[in-house]
Amino acid sequence: MKKFIASCLAIALTTASALAAAQRTATLEVTNMDCAVCPITVRKALERVPGVTSANVDFETKRAVVAFDPAKASPASLTKATTDAGYPSHLVQVQ
């Protein structure tokens, strides 16, 4: 029984590592944000993109950092989401 539990745990950890490795992070520069509510709108637009796991938008720096699954989302889909919400953006970096 101990061997079974250990092998299940090993499989779970391996799967979690593979899923985490698949995650990418994109940094976007977002324009047209002129009030404290704008980042909320941008964040919600990004979170609606399939494959996005988190989005943090900073009003001061005018940047969004987005974690996403590259099998489901792309940097182009992220910039399209912000642009469609009225806040054009461009890609600064993908990690």
- pLDDT for residue 67: 98
Per-residue pLDDT of 28-77, as tens digits, reads 999 999 999 999 999 999 999 999 999 999 999 999 999 999 999 999 99
Residue-wise pLDDT tens digits, 5-33: 444 444 544 444 445 558 999 999 999 99
Type and span of the H or E element at 95:
none
Q: Can you give the pTM of this predicted structure?
A: 0.77
Torsions phi, psi for 54 (to 5 deg):
-160, 155
Residue in this structure with the two tokens 């593979």, named with its chain if needed? 18
Closest CA to 55 of 18, 32, 87, 19: 87
Q: What 8-state DSSP symbol labels residue 1?
A: -
Give me the domains of the chain, ranges plus CATH numbers: 23-94 (3.30.70.100)
